[in-house]
Structure 1
Amino acid sequence: MGNPYDPYGQQPGYGQPPAQPGYGQPAQPGYGQQPPPPQPGYGQPAPPQPGYGQPAPQPGYGQPPAPPAPPAAPAYGQPAQPAYQEVHHHYYGSSGQLATWGSRFAAYLIDYLIVIVPFGVLYILGGVLGASGSGGAAVLGVLFFLLAWVEFIAGALWLAYQEGTTGQTIGKRQMGIKVISAQTGQPIGFGWGILRRLCHHTIDGAVCYLGFLWPLWDDKRQTFGDKICNTYVVRA
């Protein structure tokens, strides 16, 4: 006997299970359940996904943007290098960090004596032996002359190496000052150390040693060689 409330037989009777959906038809959600998102039909492409290396979709209107990535930290065991402006302000902007002319002169005098005293001793011995007139003594005198110039050149290169790699020679270490690059605040290297000393012995001393006296009134306390090599002499 049919259901009087369902004359066409579409609704299940009391106690009968609901009718199952036909093949290929989606099931209806139960009471209180959200319907699933629609699936693309057979042969239709799926929604595009962002490719590798492409930015993710931007947030919609009114949504806050994603927080920016934190800055990269320096490698383990390596201190962060200050910016050029900070180094320049630290060593030049503060006049108290720059070395005084007196300390620079004392350091130069110590280094000069370390090189020139052995040179003078060998040179004098060579002159004395060469003036004796005998053949063997004259040859020995020439050897002393050569040794004197070898010692002078080797001593000058050694001072340039110390100043370029560490910023300090023996004299500068005794006076508590050092040479740094105006750009990085670090030692200038062996090559620049040689060039700086050449500038001191040529350009700074060319006109009545005016270059050596220039730090007395220069606001950066630089000699001509310092300006050419872009260096400062500061307190260590």
Structure 2
Amino acid sequence: MINEYYLFKDNEKQGPYNHNELMDMGIGIHQMVLSPLAEDWQAASDLPEFDEYFKSAGIYVPVANNVANFGWRLLAYLIDDAVLFIAAVILWSLVVIIVRYTTGSFDTDSNTTDQELMIRLIAVVLWIFYNAAFEATKVQGSIGKVICRLIVVDGNGQRLNFTTALARNLSKIISSFLCSLGFFAMLWSPMKQCWHDQMAKTFVVRKT
């Protein structure tokens, strides 16, 4: 029977199981499996026949050939930047309308610098929470990333919780230092990680 798999579980060899039985059991990515096509034990995530099963569960284990390159991440960023710019302008416009109706005036000429500073602050806060919220959902990424088929995962290829997603996006402030050097760090990182990815131990993967 070529479909004989064995598990190393509870310090003993268990099986045999067929492919469907292992999926019904909810096999984990770190489960050690002896495949009928291999001579040694391997983690389930290293067996290509389980790729679709893990992907259907939203698990994309980051490896060198699936992490997103600079071009895809830049495109996703530009899309998100446009979305958030529009959102910030709309939000600021609502603030202006509310202030005018409650106070009867809003001096746009004398407060230009303050207005620009406020819009920038709103944009930064929106950027952080927008990305963190989306990364912690089932889509695992912002609108721009969804369009570009990118997701953010942890080292096990799984969805981030909100705390990790928030920490990742707050760390982007550090990545923006020194002329945004931290964002360009992915160009020489083996797993294409920016500084904030490295600090949060996360990866951006392109779904295939």
Same fold (TM over 0.5): yes
- Larger CA deviation: 121-130 vs 221-230: 121-130
Q: Kindly provide the CA deviation profile for residues 148-172 of structure 1, in whole angstroms up to 9, marking residues without a partner as x.
A: 6668645642331111233221111
How far off is 1:137 after superposition?
Answer: 2.2
Where in structure 1 are there 5+ consecutive unaligned residues?
Answer: 1-67
- Residues 128 and 170 of structure 2 are in contact (CA less than 8 Å); yes or no, is this contact kept in structure 1? no
Partner residue in 2 for 1:80: 27
- Segment of structure 1 superposing worse, 148-157 or 213-222: 148-157
SS at match of 2:179: coil
- What's the counterpart of residue 14 of structure 2? 70
Match of 2:143 among 149, 165, 170: 170
Q: Which residues of 2 match residues 150-169 of structure 1 at below 5 A?
A: 153=125, 156-166=128-138, 167-169=140-142
Matched, 1:196 2:196: no
8 Å contact kept, 2:153–2:203: yes
Q: TM-score, normalised by structure 2?
A: 0.60
Specify whether residues 151 and 100 from structure 1 end up closer, same or farther in structure 2 by C-alpha distance, changes over 3 A only. closer
Larger radius of gyration: 1
Higher relative contact order (CA 8 A, sep 6+): 2
Answer 1 or 2: which has greater helix percent. 2
Quote the Cα distance in structure 2 between the aligned partners of 1:76 and 1:222.
Answer: 31
Q: 1:138 — aligned with what?
A: 106
- Note the residue ranges of structure 2 that are not aligned, 5 or more in a row: 1-11, 32-42, 48-59
Say if 2:73 is the partner of 1:104.
yes
- In structure 2, the CA distance between the partners of 1:177 and 1:137, relative to structure 1 (3 Å rule), is same
Partner Cα separation in structure 2 for residue 154 and residue 213 of structure 1: 23
Distance 1:177 1:117 in 2: 22
Deviation at 1:218, TM superposition (A): 1.2
| Aligned residue number for residue 35 of structure 1 | none
Say if 2:62 and 2:205, in contact at 8 Å, map to a contact too. no
Specify whether residues 86 and 205 from structure 1 end up closer, same or farther in structure 2 by C-alpha distance, changes over 3 A only: farther
- Identical residues among aligned pairs (%): 23
Hey, what does 1:32 align to over in structure 2? none
Q: How does 1:19-34 map to 2 (within 5 A)?
A: none
Check whether the contact 2:154–2:202 (CA below 8 A) recurs between aligned residues. Answer: yes
Aligned residue for 2:170, secondary structure, equals helix
Kept in 2, the 8 Å contact 1:203–1:225? The answer is yes
Task: Give aligned pairs, total.
Answer: 160
**Contact 1:97–1:235, Cα closer than 8 Å, also in 2:** yes
CA-based RMSD: 4.1
Taking the aligned partners of 1:75 and 1:91, their CA distance within structure 2 comes to 18
After superposition, the Cα gap between the structure-2 partners of 1:79 and 1:129, relative to the gap in structure 1 and judged at 3 Å, is: closer
SS at match of 1:118: helix
Q: TM-score, normalised by structure 1?
A: 0.54
Q: Distance in 2 between matches of 1:69 and 1:170?
A: 45
SS at match of 1:179: strand
1:181/1:187 contact within 8 Å kept? yes
Deviation at 1:224, TM superposition (A): 0.5
Give the drift of 1:91.
4.2
Query: Could you tell me which of 147, 165, 180 is aligned with 1:209?
Result: 180
Distance 1:153 1:92, change over 3 A: closer
Between Structure 1 and Structure 2, the one with more strand by share is 2
